């Protein structure tokens, strides 16, 4: 795009939308009129398949069939069944993913389990810029497993891994940085960890459902992620845990609840893990949310990870180009190179919070992250190129008119 007129940019964007391979998937979502939704990396939009599915669970499965539904519609097997559906989006063959608990809890289970797979090693390496829960859970898991936590950014990790050598038990990283949107090389970091005999554990919260994630092909050992961002499972949707098949027999996770037992209904008093990924279950899952997530994942039917990645890069690329063409020169925190870009664009502004509020007032919903990040997520199933240009134009108008300086955009709610 070389033009600076917003109208011309919108025309080009409409053409891109008309020819996009994923043009039809937006119709699978309920999206409010007049809203450009760029926060699917925080809470995904509502897939149309979810309300009737949840209504059926509530009214029929629960309301009419009552406890019989555990067997009749296999509530019991839902965690691993939905796990396999998530597995299709993250390059995991069946039998390695379970949907359960929260990302935080799964990270704790994964890291302690990883440490127990590498006895005699003393260090857990992780990213100082991780989402806070990842750091907190790494510290908690390290305390339980008797590991020392060392910090190195993904950019520094190869050197840190080499220096740690055989003392490293596990390297725990996010594939995409939640704040900057930088995408890290999952396969290379995994290989570096394996080079010293350690394991690699990945947080996929900001990558699964928006790009190619090749867990099996990259040799990843463990991974976690949430159900409510790009997977569109709804607020509080359960999370997932991946354990590579080669580790499952020895995967000794610390939260030994009854649903991970080999014979849960034998009511034994000594814990014996179930075979396979079932051992990563803990207690009774939130079935309304879990089955809502199962329905939500049908929005991905017929869509390949390569198509998601192509659409995502096209959207973020269009947005960045539109900013340039419209003369918006906020420094991006997200790398411009495609191979280093996740599915969001983060821009720095000293009054980023107020800028986000002013955008929301114009119907462009993104979010703010400390200290100075305007964060805009481009969910490839339902964001359009026209949305990307509309958002760039709204940002130009906010900044040019200094709209963010109004008092009304300075008050913060509990959630930013």
Ligand X SMILES: Cc1ncc(COP(=O)(O)O)c(C=O)c1O
- Residue (104 or 307) nearer to ligand X, CB: 104
CA distance 329 to 163: 40
- Residue (205 or 399) nearer to ligand X, CB: 205
Active site residue 340: no
Residue 298 beta carbon to ligand X: minimum distance, rounded to whole angstroms: 22
Closest CA to 362 of 412, 317, 331, 406: 406
Those residues whose C-beta lies under 8 Å from the C-beta of residue 48, and which sit 6 or more positions away, are 27, 28, 29, 30
Q: How far apart are the first and last CA of the chain?
A: 33
Active site residue 131: yes
Which one is catalytic: 183, 229, 279, 309?
A: 229
Residue 197 beta carbon to ligand X: minimum distance, rounded to whole angstroms: 26
Active site residue 375: yes
- Residue (26 or 375) nearer to ligand X, CB: 375
What residues are paired with 385 via a beta bridge?
A: none
Active site residue 109: no
Which one is catalytic: 37, 173, 178, 228?
A: 228
Which one is catalytic: 203, 221, 367, 387?
A: 203
Residue 79 beta carbon to ligand X: minimum distance, rounded to whole angstroms: 16
Closest CA to 392 of 409, 406, 374: 374
Residue 11 beta carbon to ligand X: minimum distance, rounded to whole angstroms: 35
Residue 399 beta carbon to ligand X: minimum distance, rounded to whole angstroms: 27
Active site residue 203: yes
Length of the chain in residues, anyone?
416
Closest CA to 78 of 288, 372, 263, 271: 288
CA distance 170 to 26: 39
Measured in whole angstroms, how far is the alpha carbon of residue 194 from the centre of its chain? 24
CA distance 166 to 122: 9
Where does this chain bind ligand X (CB under 6 A)? 102-104, 131, 133-134, 174, 178, 203, 205-206, 226, 239
Which one is catalytic: 28, 109, 121, 375?
A: 375
Asked if 260 contacts 279 with a C-beta cutoff of 8 angstroms, the reply is: yes
- Residue (181 or 273) nearer to ligand X, CB: 181
- Residue (107 or 389) nearer to ligand X, CB: 107
Catalytic residues, by residue number, are: 131, 203, 228-229, 375
């Amino acid at each position: 795009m070389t033009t600076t007129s917003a109208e011309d940019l919108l025309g080009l964007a409409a053409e891109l939308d008309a020819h996009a391979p994923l043009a039809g998937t937006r119709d699978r979502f309920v999206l409010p009129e007049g809203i450009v939704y760029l926060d699917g990396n925080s809470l995904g939009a509502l897939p149309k398949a979810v309300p009737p599915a949840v209504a059926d669970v509530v009214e029929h499965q629960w309301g009419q069939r009552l406890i019989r539904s555990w067997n009749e519609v296999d509530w019991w097997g839902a965690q691993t069944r939905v796990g396999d559906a998530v597995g299709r989006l993250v390059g995991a063959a069946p039998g390695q993913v379970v949907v359960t608990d929260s990302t935080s809890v799964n990270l704790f289970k994964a890291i302690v389990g990883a440490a127990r797979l590498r006895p005699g090693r003393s260090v857990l390496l992780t990213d100082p810029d991780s989402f806070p829960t990842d750091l907190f859970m790494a510290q908690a898991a390290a305390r339980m497993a008797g590991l020392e936590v060392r910090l190195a950014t993904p950019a520094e990790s190869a050197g840190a891994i080499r220096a740690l050598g055989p003392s490293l038990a596990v390297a725990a990283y996010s594939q995409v940085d939640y704040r900057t949107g930088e995408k890290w090389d999952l396969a290379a970091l995994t290989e570096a960890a394996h080079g010293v005999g350690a394991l690699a554990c990945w947080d996929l919260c900001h990558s699964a459902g928006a790009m190619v994630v090749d867990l099996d092909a990259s040799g990843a050992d463990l991974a976690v992620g949430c159900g409510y961002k790009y997977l569109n499972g709804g607020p509080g949707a359960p999370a997932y845990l991946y354990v590579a098949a080669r580790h499952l027999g020895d995967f000794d996770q610390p939260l030994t609840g009854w649903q991970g037992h080999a014979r849960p209904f034998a009511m034994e008093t000594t814990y014996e893990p179930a075979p396979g990924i079932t051992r990563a279950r803990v207690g009774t899952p939130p079935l309304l949310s879990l089955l809502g997530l199962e329905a939500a994942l049908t929005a991905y039917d017929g869509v390949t990870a390569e198509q998601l990645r192509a659409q995502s890069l096209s959207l973020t690329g269009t947005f960045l180009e539109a900013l340039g063409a419209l003369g918006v020169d906020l420094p991006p925190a997200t790398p411009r190179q495609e191979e280093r870009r996740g599915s969001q664009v983060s821009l720095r502004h000293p009054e980023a919070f107020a800028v986000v509020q002013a955008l929301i007032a114009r119907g462009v919903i993104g979010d703010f992250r400390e200290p100075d990040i305007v964060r805009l997520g481009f969910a490839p199933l339902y964001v359009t190129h026209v949305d990307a240009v509309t958002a760039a134009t709204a940002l130009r108008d906010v900044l040019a008119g200094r709209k963010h300086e109004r008092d009304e955009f300075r008050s913060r709610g509990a959630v930013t």
